[in-house]
């Protein structure tokens, strides 16, 4: 007996596996289901089957991720003081067009542009504009999300423009370290909270706060899938990680207080309440049989 989303489903051990591999259940996901059932009975949150990507889906998502990474590589190459954030938007459009890809943010819930560009105290969801010019000393997050053949990829990087104050540079570096430390916790049969806790601990140890309201997400078949991925969670809590799950790790660290507010004019851009600078890095990661694989960064 297997309990899937609380419903009983019987699959014979010699029947084809539910994952679509064509293999017999007993040599495919039987052991997987046993572990999921045990975790559920122990009171843990477990992933639904639809969150488990097949090898075919993973291959297609990786193709999308190649375009995603190329977008950010080209931005990395060209970004400089004096450039407008609209020009970053142009780069994303160009690279996507070249590959027949679609920028996922464009028209997503009414978002007007193809990429999010968030400078200094902008935490995330900044909207590119020809009137917004990058200045020496700015830190900027460029958050790129890509659709290729219907498959989604999502990653973001920070860029330091010219001569950046060492305090701000440290914020950017520590945020990246948080993602790297969190990534080490991504392995099958661990918990999302293991990752959340190390990120929060590292941020706090450096005197920074972590934004609570906005988090990562499952990704691949859709832009935003379950689970929601927070960074104020505790080890051993939150969703169980199982092979085939794919999600983003995208903590936002503030130099000051964690409180944020939304721009009341564009209803998108999030800023720190106290005006302190904020940094974010985002990676897309797959849980594998033995650990994890970075899909986009």
- Positions touching Co ion (CB under 5 A) are 154, 248
Identify what 196 binds: ligand MF3, Co ion, none; CB under 5 to 8 Å per kind. Answer: none
Q: Which is nearer to Co ion, 132 or 154 (CB)?
A: 154
Supply the minimum distance, in Å, between the C-beta of residue 18 and Co ion.
28
Nearer to ligand MF3 by Cβ, of 152 and 208: the residue is 152
Can you name the residues that pair with 191 across neighbouring β-strands? 240
Q: Which of 282, 285, 295, 297 binds ligand MF3 (CB under 6 A)?
A: 282
Instruction: State which of residues 108, 212, 262, 288 lies at the interface with ligand MF3 (CB under 6 A).
Output: 108
DSSP code per residue over the chain: -EEETTEEE---TTSBPTTSS-SBGGGTTHHHHHHHHHHHHTT-B---GGGS--HHHHHHHHHHHHHHHHHHHHHHHH--TT-BHHHHHHHHHHHHHHHT-EETTTTGGG--SSSEEEETTEEE-PPP-TT-B--TT-EEEEEEEEEETTEEEEEEEEEE-SS--HHHHHHHHHHHHHHHHHHHT--TTSBHHHHHHHHHHHHHHTT-EE-SS--EEE-SSSSSEEEEE-SS--TT-SBBP-TT-EEEE--EEESS-S-EEE-TTTS--EEETT---EEE-BEEEEE-SSSEEEEE-
Among 87, 121, 132, 143, binds ligand MF3 (CB under 6 A): 143
For residues 161 and 262, what is the distance between their CA atoms, to the nearest angstrom?
A: 25
- The footprint of ligand MF3 on residues 225-254 (CB under 6 A) is 248, 250
Site residues for ligand MF3, window 123-142 (CB under 6 A)? 125
Nearer of residues 36 and 283 to ligand MF3, judged by Cβ = 283
Cβ proximity to Co ion, 155 vs 276, nearer residue: 155
How near is the Cβ of 143 to ligand MF3 at its closest, in Å?
Answer: 4
Report whether 24 contacts 13 (CB < 8 A).
yes
With respect to ligand MF3, which residue has the nearer C-beta, 2 or 155?
155
145 binds ligand MF3 (CB under 6 A): yes
Q: Is 153 in the site for ligand MF3 (CB under 6 A)?
A: no
User: Which position among 87, 121, 132, 154 is part of the footprint of ligand MF3 (CB under 6 A)?
Assistant: 154
Q: Is 114 among the residues that bind ligand MF3 (CB under 6 A)?
A: no
Terminal Cα distance for the chain, rounded: 40
Residue 105 binding result from ligand MF3, Co ion, none, given CB thresholds of 5 to 8 Å by partner type: ligand MF3
Q: Shortest gap between Cβ of 108 and ligand MF3 (angstroms)?
A: 4
Q: Give me the residues that bind ligand MF3 (CB under 6 A), please.
A: 105, 108, 111, 116, 125, 143, 145, 154, 248, 250, 282
């Amino acid at each position: 007996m297997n309990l899937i989303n609380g419903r009983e489903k019987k699959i014979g051990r010699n029947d084809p596996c539910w994952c679509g591999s064509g293999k017999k259940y007993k040599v495919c996901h039987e052991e997987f289901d046993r572990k999921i059932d045990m975790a559920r009975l122990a009171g843990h949150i477990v992933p639904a089957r639809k969150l488990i990507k097949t090898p075919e889906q993973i291959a297609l998502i990786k193709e999308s991720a190649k375009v995603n990474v190329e977008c950010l590589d080209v931005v990395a190459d060209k970004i400089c003081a004096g450039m407008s954030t609209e020009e970053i938007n142009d780069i994303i459009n160009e690279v996507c067009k070249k590959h027949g890809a679609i920028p996922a943010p464009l028209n997503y819930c009414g978002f007007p542009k193809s990429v999010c560009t968030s400078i200094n105290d902008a935490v995330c969801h900044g909207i590119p504009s020809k009137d917004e010019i990058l200045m020496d000393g700015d830190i900027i997050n460029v958050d790129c999300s890509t659709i290729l053949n219907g498959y989604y990829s999502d990653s973001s990087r920070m860029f330091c423009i010219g001569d950046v104050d060492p305090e701000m540079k440290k914020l950017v570096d520590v945020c990246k370290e948080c993602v790297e430390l969190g990534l080490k916790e991504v392995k099958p049969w661990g918990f999302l909270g293991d990752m959340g806790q190390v990120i929060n601990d590292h941020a706090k140890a450096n005197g920074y706060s972590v934004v609570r309201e906005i988090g990562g997400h499952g990704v691949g078949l859709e832009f935003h899938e379950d689970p929601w991925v927070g960074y104020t969670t505790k080890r051993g809590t939150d969703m169980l990680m199982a092979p085939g799950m794919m999600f983003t790790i995208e903590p936002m660290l503030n130099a000051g207080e964690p409180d944020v507010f939304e721009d009341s004019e564009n209803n998108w851009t999030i800023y720190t309440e106290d005006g302190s600078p904020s940094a974010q890095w985002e990676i897309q990661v797959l849980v594998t049989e033995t650990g994890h694989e970075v899909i986009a960064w």
